[in-house]
Structure 1
């Protein structure tokens, strides 16, 4: 007969401490290699570039630049406000007005066709300048220019002498103008043809540099620029020419 294995019962002592479970195989292998319990090694990757973060921009320099820009804009605005307020106060106090000009008479001293077919012209113009301001004087400076034009052709030119015009002053100026045009024959024929109608259009252009005087304060130079459109009846030499119509417009140019 074959022997049967016998199973013997195991008697468990209730007072004995509980047995500790066997550690897993991985723990036993680490213990045999001398590695401490609970410590794992993390495999390292080689030849992997480490990302480098760019440096943050300097905040202090940017904030200083913003402050400088804000201060500059503020100063410019304040300066503009001060200038505008000053101009407004001066305008209310002095109430400036442009001077007025009128052409009283025109005389042609010479209008001759030369041998080279150029036209020589000499005009005498009488102009009245009126300063309507009560507290503003006008200095007429050097470098003025008066010229007489027929359509787009300059006939002659001259200048106003330097002088000072006081408050509400009326000054009469006699200005001599002279000039020479190379297209004399064509120009003279056009003037003679226009003279037959009894209405010859002429333009008197004026450019005068002036300085403004506010009481005792003399300001910078400006230019009075304008045109007087005239209609005369003839261009006869050495005789008083009748001005049938005259319209003058003037303005200031800085």
Structure 2
């Protein structure tokens, strides 16, 4: 008997067999789905940007302002450079003018001395002192042949012992022409002065020895006249170390030494 041939089922042949490797099927299925990005939670975030990016690349909206600010900074630098150049030129011209004044006028600082000193109302046994000093000062401007001096208001003269001020007064205001020597007397007064015990003892001992050292200090504003030109007001300081034989009227001056200091702005002129 001939063998029977059984026809194959079309449905089974049309349907593919189940895959032997299930992992490959799962991976192909996963790749076909769209990938969703995680949504950040609401909140505040800090974004760090390099410093050079901020300075070199301003935001588009502020680019015009950045150019304006840069232009202004350039203008300021130019103005500063111009002002500095003018200042240097001015100082150079002043130095030249000072040199010309020095060569033409040859200014010299005047000499000052204390010629006489009379002391009254100085009683060390009293509870309070009110001394009166009559000081004769000699201002010698004979060394200057073309330079005059204006002594202005606002001066101050003091007489002191061992740093303790005894009395005060004023320097008179006047004009001293070139090649001139002027002697004037000014009064210095002290009121209600109380000396410390050690100062009183030292002053009493010095008077017994017949040698009382005193300090006469002067501060006076002056203006220097170079021909028809006057300088600005400067401060002149005079300090005299004077030793007298006693605190009395018509005291005898045993020694004197005066020094002069002028503001440095005219020091290069020899004053």
User: Would you say same fold, with TM above 0.5?
Assistant: yes
In terms of fraction of residues, the more helix-rich structure is 2
Matches within 5 A, 1:34-49: none
User: Distance in 1 between the 2:187 and 2:76 partners?
Assistant: 62
Q: CA deviation at 1:205?
A: 0.3
2:193 maps to what in 1? 182
**Residue 173 (structure 1) aligned to one of 184, 187, 202:** 184
Q: Does 1:81 align with 2:92?
A: yes
Q: Is the 8 A contact 1:199 1:231 kept in 2?
A: yes
User: Distance in 1 between the 2:102 and 2:223 partners?
Assistant: 16
Q: Does 1:124 align with 2:127?
A: no
Q: SS of the residue aligned with 2:150?
A: strand
Against the structure 1 CA distance between its residues 66 and 119, is the aligned structure 2 distance closer, same or farther, given a 3 Å change threshold?
Answer: closer
- Range with bigger deviation, 59-68 or 214-223: 59-68
**Residue 213 (structure 1) aligned to one of 201, 207, 225:** 225
Q: Is the 8 A contact 1:118 1:185 kept in 2?
A: no
2:83 maps to what in 1? 72
Superposition TM-score, scaled by structure 2 size: 0.66
User: Distance in 1 between the 2:166 and 2:237 partners?
Assistant: 19
Q: CA deviation at 1:67?
A: 3.7
Q: CA deviation at 1:118?
A: 1.3
User: Distance in 2 between the 1:66 and 1:208 partners?
Assistant: 43
1:194 maps to what in 2? 206
Against the structure 1 CA distance between its residues 205 and 108, is the aligned structure 2 distance closer, same or farther, given a 3 Å change threshold?
Answer: same
Unaligned stretches of 5+ residues in structure 2: 1-52, 266-271
Q: Is the 8 A contact 2:112 2:137 kept in 1?
A: yes
Q: Is the 8 A contact 2:124 2:204 kept in 1?
A: no
Unaligned stretches of 5+ residues in structure 1: 1-50
Q: Does 1:134 align with 2:145?
A: yes
User: Distance in 2 between the 1:181 and 1:95 partners?
Assistant: 47
CA RMSD after TM alignment: 2.7
Q: Is the 8 A contact 2:112 2:238 kept in 1?
A: no
Q: SS of the residue aligned with 1:76?
A: helix
- Range with bigger deviation, 218-227 or 62-71: 62-71
Matches within 5 A, 1:95-114: 95-112=106-123
1:250 maps to what in 2? 260
User: Distance in 2 between the 1:65 and 1:123 partners?
Assistant: 60
Q: Is the 8 A contact 2:166 2:193 kept in 1?
A: no
Q: SS of the residue aligned with 2:231?
A: strand
User: Distance in 1 between the 2:153 and 2:80 partners?
Assistant: 44
In terms of fraction of residues, the more strand-rich structure is 1
User: Distance in 1 between the 2:125 and 2:243 partners?
Assistant: 26
Q: Does 1:54 align with 2:66?
A: no
Q: Does 1:241 align with 2:251?
A: yes
Larger radius of gyration: 1
Q: Is the 8 A contact 1:133 1:167 kept in 2?
A: yes
Against the structure 1 CA distance between its residues 153 and 54, is the aligned structure 2 distance closer, same or farther, given a 3 Å change threshold?
Answer: same
Q: Does 1:226 align with 2:225?
A: no
